[in-house]
Amino acid sequence: MAKFNKKKDGGLPAVNTASLPDIVFMLLFFFMVATVMRENTLKIENKLPAADQIEKLDKKYPISYIYVGKPSSRFKSFGTEARIQLNDNYAEVTDIGPYIASERVPLREELKNKITVALKVDVDANMGLVSDIKQELRKAQALKINYTTRQGEAF
């Protein structure tokens, strides 16, 4: 029997996986560098519209975000009308003034009036709410705004 057992060297040699960690680490580093951690957890649906005349947001100046959209499926109890989200919570139109003021507090004096407000509004939101927000921003003297959009065909 021993004679038969010895005849086992015909199998495939094992693939050397020593370089696998290197490849995986390479991918890992790419994603670590490319990742931008979400500042806010979204409680709303936020599908951005597309436009093709877009400009990059100037990162030199402070940016505040205002999210608008209808409550996401986990928050059905808040209704189906589009709502505003500031930081991590739902907010009313009247909360925008104080929000902008609080965003301005930690800024250096010369940057206080350079604040840009990025409006991340869902495609299905209606303009009534957006104009109310714009009106509040005018009252708060935050006049630079940016309608955040995806790159793509507008219609």
Is residue 131 part of the contact set for other proteins (CB under 8 A)?
Answer: yes
Count the site residues for other proteins by CB under 8 A.
55
Question: And the tokens for 142?
Answer: 């935050």
92 Cα distance to chain centroid: 21
Contact 120, 145 (CB under 8 A): no
Rule CB under 8 A: is residue 40 a binding residue for other proteins?
no
Distance CA 148, CA 152 (A): 12
d(CA 80, CA 132): 18
Q: Do 130 and 68 contact (CB within 8 A), yes or no?
A: yes
15 binds other proteins (CB under 8 A): no
Is the distance from CB of 57 to CB of 63 less than 8 angstroms?
yes
Q: Which is nearer to other proteins, 47 or 76 (CB)?
A: 47
Closest CA to 134 of 81, 82, 69, 84: 84
Pick from 81, 88, 92, 124: which binds other proteins (CB under 8 A)?
124
Residue selected from 4, 18, 106, 110 as contacting other proteins according to rule CB under 8 A: 18
Residue-level length of the chain: 155
7 vs 56 by CB, closer to other proteins: 56
Which of positions 88-117 make contact with other proteins (CB under 8 A)? none
Among 14, 15, 31, 80, binds other proteins (CB under 8 A): 31
Contact residues toward other proteins (CB under 8 A) are 17-18, 20-21, 24-25, 27-28, 31-32, 34-38, 48-49, 51-59, 63, 68, 118, 121-128, 130-131, 134, 137-139, 141, 143-151, 154-155
